[in-house]
Amino acid sequence: MKSASIAAIAALGAASVSAVPSAYAEFKNALHRRADGPTDTQVLQYALTLENLEKRFYADALSQFDEAAFEAAGYPNWVRGRLSQIAGHESDHVSLLSTALGNDSVAECTYNFPYTDVKSFVGLATLLENVGVSAYAGAAQYITSKDYLTVAAVILSTEARHQAWESSAVGGSNPWGSAYDTPLDLNMVYTLASAFITSCPDSNAALPVKAYPTLTIGEGYAPGSSASFTFDDSHSATNYVIFYEGLGARAVQLDENDSATIPSELQGVVYALVSTSSDPKGVTTDNIVAGPAILNFPFDAWTENPAFAG
Ligand SMILES: *[C@@H]1O[C@H](CO)[C@@H](O)[C@H](O)[C@H]1NC(C)=O
Ligand SMILES: *[C@@H]1O[C@H](CO)[C@@H](O)[C@H](O)[C@H]1NC(C)=O
């Protein structure tokens, strides 16, 4: 059944379709070597940790910026209304996951979000929604309960609608990255989320995740150009930047000044991390040096938008 349907799809376009299974297999190899994955409870606690963050992010910003602030920032009045609906969704996600977890729920942490005005809040919202999509996509394989998997799927697709609306209807930019969203491993997502977390209650269960050291990218980076990557480079090993977009991943060696050329085909939101592995398939928790960091390459409606082959 499975191979018959793959053959039928492949017949429609061998060149583009044949890349998909291998890219997915590469992703599985690269990021999911863990012999003992997290339990369903831990996956839900991880999801609740992210939903708590999103809920507080929207609630705080909307209490800070009223309709007049959105108007002064140049947004039509439906923007704040929709963002209020999104804030409600995040609150619903928190309630649902808290109910599912019962006494194993994790409470809100304290956060530090770096937006300074309405525009930077909306920009950060788009990136957080992207990370949310990547988080659910990457964690889905660990969920053993089919019921929880369905819940995760419908939250994921809703977060993707949020992201697409914020990026395109509000931001006037691309609603998607490519044919595939980018799955991220738990530690990678936690690295991005922990940048906003100041502290969590001691009573929260410890999650089986860790944050890697911070990676930052010099201003003005662009596809096809050299960019500088800043991290704690105290190791003498040769380092590589691994670029992730959709199901594709590519390693580019860093030069002696920690610069690397960004692949010219990258579009939309891209994650980059530094590893000592020269092969994306060999990236593991043990050889990640720093990151991921988020890069964003907006593109217009007239640009070709192929999946990143890696
Ligand atoms: C939650 O309650 C269940 C029994 O209903 C118990 O087995 C479990 O240890 C409790 N967990 C916590 C974190 O208190
Ligand atoms: C690294 O920086 C030094 C000093 O600016 C420069 O001379 C050298 O050419 C750079 N190396 C590369 C590979 O660009």
The per-residue pLDDT for range 129-169, each reduced to its tens digit, is: 999 999 999 999 999 999 999 999 999 999 999 999 999 99
Same domain, yes or no: 167 and 60: yes
Q: What is the pLDDT of residue 23?
A: 54
126 and 237 co-located in one domain: no
- CA 2 – CA 4 distance, rounded (Å): 5
Mean pLDDT of 110-131: 98
- pLDDT, residue 235, reads 67
* Residues 43 and 115 reside in one and the same domain: yes
What is the rounded average pLDDT of the residues 79-86?
98
Helix (H, G, I), strand (E, B), or coil: what is residue 304?
Answer: coil
Q: 227, 297 in Cβ contact below 8 A?
A: no
Q: Is residue 36 part of a domain?
A: yes
What is the CB neighbour count within 10 angstroms for residue 167? 26
Cα of 102 vs centre of ligand 1, distance in Å, is 8
* Residues 67-94, mean pLDDT to the nearest whole number: 98
Q: How confident is the model at residue 27 (pLDDT cuts 50, 70, 90)?
A: low
Q: How far is the CA of 235 from the centre of ligand 2 (A)?
A: 19
- Assess whether the C-beta atom of 253 lies below 6 angstroms from ligand 2: no
- Residues 137 and 105: their CA atoms lie apart, in Å, by 21
- Could you count the other beta carbons within 10 Å of the beta carbon of residue 56? 20
Pocket test for ligand 1, best of 44, 101, 104, 203 (most atoms within 8 A of CB): 104
**Does 309 fall in a domain?**
no
Tens digits of per-residue pLDDT, 43-58? 999 999 999 999 999 9
Residue 21 has pLDDT above 50, yes or no: no
Q: What percent of the chain has pLDDT over 70?
A: 88
Ligand of minimum distance to the alpha carbon of 255: 2
Q: Is 255 in the pocket of ligand 2 (CB under 6 A)?
A: yes
166: left (phi over 0), alpha (psi -120 to 50) or beta: alpha
CA-closest residue to ligand 2 atom 7: 257
**CATH code for position 142:** 1.20.1260.10
| pLDDT higher than 70, residue 32 | no
According to the model, what pLDDT value does residue 234 have?
A: 76
pLDDT at 119: 97
What's the pTM? Answer: 0.88
Closest ligand to the CA of 228 = 2
pLDDT at position 237: 84
Of 147, 168, 199, the residue at which a domain comes to its end is: 199
Contact of 269 with 130, CB cutoff 8 Å: yes
Cα–Cα distance list, 8 to 24, 35, 60 (Å): 19, 34, 50
Helix (H/G/I), strand (E/B), else coil: 100 = helix
For residues 234 and 263, state if they share a domain. Answer: yes
**CA distance linking residue 189 with residue 176, whole number of Å:** 19
Q: What average pLDDT does range 199-226 have in this prediction? A: 96
Q: How far is CA 260 from CA 168, 219, 292, in A?
A: 30, 14, 15
Q: Are residues 193 and 287 in the same domain?
A: no
Nearest CA to ligand 2 atom 3: 257
Q: Point out the ligand nearest to the CA of residue 258.
A: 2
Last residue of a domain, one of 170, 199, 228: 199
Mean pLDDT of the chain: 90
Residue minimizing CA distance to atom 1 of ligand 2? 257
Q: Find the mean pLDDT for residues 82-97.
A: 98
Residues of the chain with pLDDT > 90: what percent? 86
Cβ atoms < 10 Å from Cβ of 240: 24
Residues 172 and 223 in one domain: no
Same domain, 231 and 189: no
One-letter amino acid at 288 equals: I
Question: What's the farthest any 2 CA atoms get from each other in the chain?
Answer: 58
Is 104 close to ligand 2, i.e. is its CB under 6 Å away?
no
**Residues 266-285: tens digit of each pLDDT:** 999 999 999 999 999 999 99
Whole domain around residue 114: which residue ranges? Answer: 24-199
Same domain, 32 and 174: yes
Cα(242)–Cα(261) distance, integer angstroms: 11
Q: How many domains does the chain have?
A: 2
- Between the CA of 262 and the centroid of ligand 2 the distance, in Å, is 18
